[in-house]
Amino acid sequence: MPLRSIHAFAGGVHPLGNKNTDVLPSIHLHGFREVELLMQQHIGPPCTCVVKPGDHVDVGTMVGRADKPMSVPIHSSISGTVKEVHYVVSANGSPVEAVRIESDFQHTINPFCKPPKVESFEDFIQMIRDSGLVGLGGAAFPTYIKLNPPKNKMPDTLIVNAAECEPYITADYRQICEHPDDIIDGILEVMKWLEIPKTIIGVEDNKPLVTRIFSHEIKKRVYKTGKHPDIEVKTLKTIYPQGAEKMLIYTLTGRKVPPGKLPIDVHTLVMNVSTLRFIGLYLKEGIPLTRKRMTLDGSALNTPGNFIVPIGARIEDIIEAAGGTREEPKKIIMGGAMMGVALDRIDHGIIKANNAILVFGSEETTLPPESPCIRCARCVASCPMDLIPCGIDKATRLRDPEMLEKYHVMDCIECGCCTYACPSKRFLTQSIKNGKVIVRAERARIKKEQELLAASENKGGPAS
Amino acid sequence: MKLQVSHSPHVRDKATTQSIMRDVIIALLPATFAGWYYFGIRAVFITLLSISSCILFEYICRKVMKRNNTIGDLSAVVTGLLLAMNLPVSLPPYMVVIGAAFAIVVVKQMFGGLGNNFVNPAIAARIFLVIAFPKAMTSWTVMTGSWFSIKSVDAVSSATPLTQIHTAEAPSLWNLFIGNKAGCIGEVCILALLIGALYLILRHVIRIWIPMAYIGTFFLLVFFFGKTNVLHFTGDLATLSGWGDLFYESGYMLLSGGLMLGAWFMATDYVTSPLTTKGKLIFGMGCGILTFLIRYYGNMIEGVSFSIILMNILTPHIDEWTMGKPFGEVKENAKV
């Protein structure tokens, strides 16, 4: 019987799970006519494009080279010919370089792709970087950076995030059901090279099957190797945002990550199951990150389900290949219902961190009008970061940076709980994000002012 | 294809301002019906007059101020109902209308409408009426004529239980509990008020912190510092013989006056109470202490109303004092 964690964070909300697709096995989608690979698919500087129109590429051929630190390469997800290298507007609204590749439908794999040989920690980190791996839970943080912490801050616990607390999304769930062995391989590799003594897998208690699969898989390892692999499965209360890094670390270990700090500051490493599965798979096959498992759901779709799609495939093509729509979509969301981005166009190519496309029809699409705050404090009670969202909202509308700082606006994790809970239907999360912009601008202004002051003091002494 | 673009989250909870107000109205109904039962058809008339005046004033105000119509959020109905529950049944109708006007026009809309009033409109109106019409607001009646008799002359003047304690006419605790006593329309039946309060708690509309702190603090103060308090207890504490005497005064104090109505339905008003749990506890304790002081050492009868309104005024400060640290904030990171 897996242990239940004893810590619980304050706040959180209980949106309808809507895990409609959890029993549907993942389907490989092939036959995309073209893909569009953005040159920035991670947090960090963009890649340099190394192909030009007319070049032939195979699956796994590098098209974007990572020149700068914090950057990972991008590989072609189909075989075919490069048609165009141009600038497009990404889903978040910023311009980014993109490579358009037309498929030859051959699906030939780059001959240089072979299982890597890992003999040292440095090899391991290089291998992770070359694979183009980023955090697949949604943050898209380059994994090689995460796995290479400063020497004085080595992690003592690996936390595997199998919470998947966002409504609708079941991609990680299917990943666990279909490839538990690869996940355990990935965990063992990370534990081995980073010398982490202990791993905890956190699973929400609405997914008992996942708990059983992992327990079974661990038993198999014990049988095979004769020793227990120090991996523990813990069930978590089903509550959103249970899968948020800080909340997960607290519930599983009782450690609190201070504001502005990273999990590594409390000696923990948090990795998503899909990221770990990729590590396990890459060591066996050597094909870089070119495919992504995603959940397609929403009332406007004919056949919701889980699909494995090449990175860069256009959203409209994916929806079509996955069975098309049965009514005119009213809202299309890239990501989950709580934190995803509503799109205005659907010709974007998907990027590494995308894990769901929600196609909402008229029954799910609502945009109730805002009404005045009645101070019911539901936002305060729901905030997992113990902030006062209605106060931040007020400060943002007053454009008062001092008041925003007083309310600790920068500590918001933008999980959306406050907006979900608000009976006045106020756009609290949006307001808080705007508040962060105001605070950043004010901080920059103060810094510049101080610099100017310092410069003028240096120039003119008391003599002038 | 036209796609809706909005900020996350894309799913919302079912609760709306309107649904919350509806729940409050539902929770107030048992006590209202009990008041109607005890005070006759005139109580029905006063209640409906108060509610309809509040709605009318809200409508006119918004119209005059060229703002959107907000009758639909039902907050005016809640104010009207609460105001009626806080009035004696014999009050002349024009005073009810003046009270409603004060609550909606002066206290609520002049400060910016729902969510911006700094004190509870119904309590402010009650206090306004007590000061403006002290005689009418403090003549308590018990019904003697038929239930359908509309004239208040059928009622005879009576003292409120609060002034009767330790006298021969004092009603029994049971009569205080079920509402067979003099008082305002909505405050008499404690049983009905508690049923309504339970509904609000179960529906997660209010949290228990304010009423718990309010009633608890008040009870303890009366228990230890009242007239027949535990320190002056003449019975045998060890065997608890005569424990009824020990609890009589505190029980009597809890069940009489507007304490239950105030603690469960007016101190918990969202707009004028603190946001955090800590703040709510401080707010409730403050109300309890002030109610005790006014009831025992003041010469005004409005203990509950004044204590709640004073704490309403302190609410922004309580919010300021009780603003907690963000999750994970430790000392060395705290901004000085």
Q: Which whole number is the average pLDDT over B42-58?
A: 95
Using 50, 70 and 90 to split pLDDT, how confident is the model at B228?
Answer: low
Strands A341-342 and A331-334: antiparallel
The verdict on a CB contact (< 8 Å) between A360 and B114 is: no
Nearest Cα of chain A lies from the Cα of B169 at a distance, in angstroms, of 42
Asked if the C-beta of A127 comes within 8 angstroms of chain B's C-beta atoms, the answer is no
The verdict on a CB contact (< 8 Å) between A342 and B113 is: no
Alpha carbons A216 and A207: distance in angstroms, whole number: 15
The verdict on a CB contact (< 8 Å) between A425 and B6 is: no
pLDDT at residue A167 tops 70? yes
Beta bridge partners of A97: A87
Helix (H, G, I), strand (E, B) or coil at B278: helix
Dihedrals phi, psi of A333, to nearest 5 degrees: -115, 130
Cα A203 to chain center, whole Å? 17
CATH architecture of the region B17-321: Orthogonal Bundle (1.10)
Mutate to test the interface with B, among A325, A360, A408, A431 (most CBs of B within 10 A): A408
Domain boundaries in chain B?
17-321
Using 50, 70 and 90 to split pLDDT, how confident is the model at B154?
Answer: very low
Find the residue in B nearest to A427 (Cα).
Answer: B7
Topology of domain A1-30+113-367, CATH = Rossmann fold (3.40.50)
Q: In what order do the strands lie in the sheet with A62-65?
A: A48-49, A62-65, A74-75
Closest CA to B227 of B136, B166, B168: B166
Q: Which whole number is the average pLDDT over A319-331?
A: 91
pLDDT of residue B197: 96
Identity of the amino acid at B172 = S
Strands A74-75 and A62-65: antiparallel
Using 50, 70 and 90 to split pLDDT, how confident is the model at B229?
Answer: low
- Give tens-digit pLDDT for A32-55: 999 999 998 888 889 999 999 999
Share of chain A above pLDDT 70, in %: 98
Q: What Rg do the C-alpha atoms of chain A give, in angstroms?
A: 23
Beta bridge partners of A333: A342, A358
Q: What ipTM describes this predicted complex?
A: 0.87
B chain contacts of residue A375, beta-carbon cutoff 8 Å: 115, 270-271, 273, 275
- Give tens-digit pLDDT for A372-409: 999 999 999 999 999 999 999 999 999 999 999 999 99
Alpha carbons A156 and A153: distance in angstroms, whole number: 9
Alpha carbons A166 and B10: distance in angstroms, whole number: 11
Closest CA to A82 of A49, A40, A107, A41: A49
The verdict on a CB contact (< 8 Å) between B16 and A346 is: no
CB B104 within 8 A of CB B65: no
Q: Please, which residues have CB within 8 angstroms of residue A387's CB and are 6 or more apart in sequence?
A: A380, A407, A408, A409, A411, A412, B326
Q: Which whole number is the average pLDDT over B53-73?
A: 93
- As a residue count, chain B comes to 336
Alpha carbons A88 and A39: distance in angstroms, whole number: 10
Using 50, 70 and 90 to split pLDDT, how confident is the model at B303?
Answer: confident
- Give tens-digit pLDDT for B125-141: 999 999 999 888 887 77
Intra-chain end-to-end CA distance of chain A, in Å = 79
User: Which structure tokens are listed for A144?
Assistant: 């090689």
Question: Would you list the DSSP string of B117-160?
Answer: -SS-HHHHHHHHHHHHSHHHHT-EEEE-S-TT---GGGEEEE--
Domain boundaries in chain A?
1-30+113-367, 378-459
What DSSP designation does A4 have?
A: E
Model's pTM, two decimal places?
0.89
Closest CA to A413 of A394, A396, A395, A433: A433
The verdict on a CB contact (< 8 Å) between B270 and A407 is: no
